[in-house]
Amino acid sequence: MPEDDVFSALGNQRRRYVVACLLEQDEPVDMKELSRQVAARENDVPVEEVTHEQRKRVYIALHQNHLPQLEDMGFVDGGRAREAITLNDRATVLDRHLNPEPEGEEVWLGAEIGLTLGGALLVVLSWLDLYPLVLLPDLFYMVGLVVALAIVTVVRCYRVYGLRLEPAS
């Protein structure tokens, strides 16, 4: 898929709201409901508090501009019909751009797997009383492994959560 299509689709805040709203839906939505949800996000109000004018302004822009563009790019089905609007399978790439994995997750996963496998091997070899591992008690290796895993876990949690209790957005 051309990156230009992805950047064009997500290059406008209103289209990002459309994609985000459609990603949250389990069923197709009609134009009226979609415009209410987008207007709520744009005006930072609950959906129930969206005024007729706010919804109408979004409705017109979605109908005339944004949904036809998303449909022409192949991300949305039903945009011109104004009923049963859904994202199609091609839109999964948009979800990855709107909700990316935190940077460096592959590196951390690799570190965790390597530390776990390497630590398990070290513990097994120490139980077999192989030289030079026999010079230190088995408990030393197990405590070292637990401490190393704890450090990796704390650092990774800090990177993902910071000092908050919920994931970074």
DSSP type of residue 85: B
Structure confidence by residue, pLDDT tens digits, 44-75: 999 999 999 999 999 999 999 898 888 888 88
Residue 9 has pLDDT above 90, yes or no: no
Q: Give CA separation, 133 vs 32, 115, 116, in Å.
A: 70, 18, 18
**Quick check: 168 pLDDT over 60?**
no
Give the rounded distance of the alpha carbon of 75 from its chain centre.
18
- Per DSSP, 65 falls in state I
Task: Give per-residue pLDDT as tens, 97-136.
Answer: 776 665 666 677 788 888 888 888 887 888 888 888 888 8
Looking at residue 164, its pLDDT comes to 60
In the predicted model, what is the mean pLDDT of the chain?
A: 82
What ranges do the domains of the chain cover? 3-98, 105-161
Global pTM value: 0.57
Mean pLDDT on 89-93:
78
Confidence of residue 167 (pLDDT cuts 50, 70, 90): low
For the record, the structure tokens of 124 come out as 């097994």
Q: Reply yes or no on whether the pLDDT at 156 is more than 70.
A: yes
- Return the higher-pLDDT residue of 97 and 36: 36
Give the amino acid at 7. F
Class of domain 3-98: mainly alpha
Residue 4 has pLDDT above 80, yes or no: no
pLDDT of residue 46: 94
At 32 the pLDDT is 92
> Hey, is 30 helix, strand or coil?
coil
Q: Is the pLDDT score of 158 beyond 80? A: no
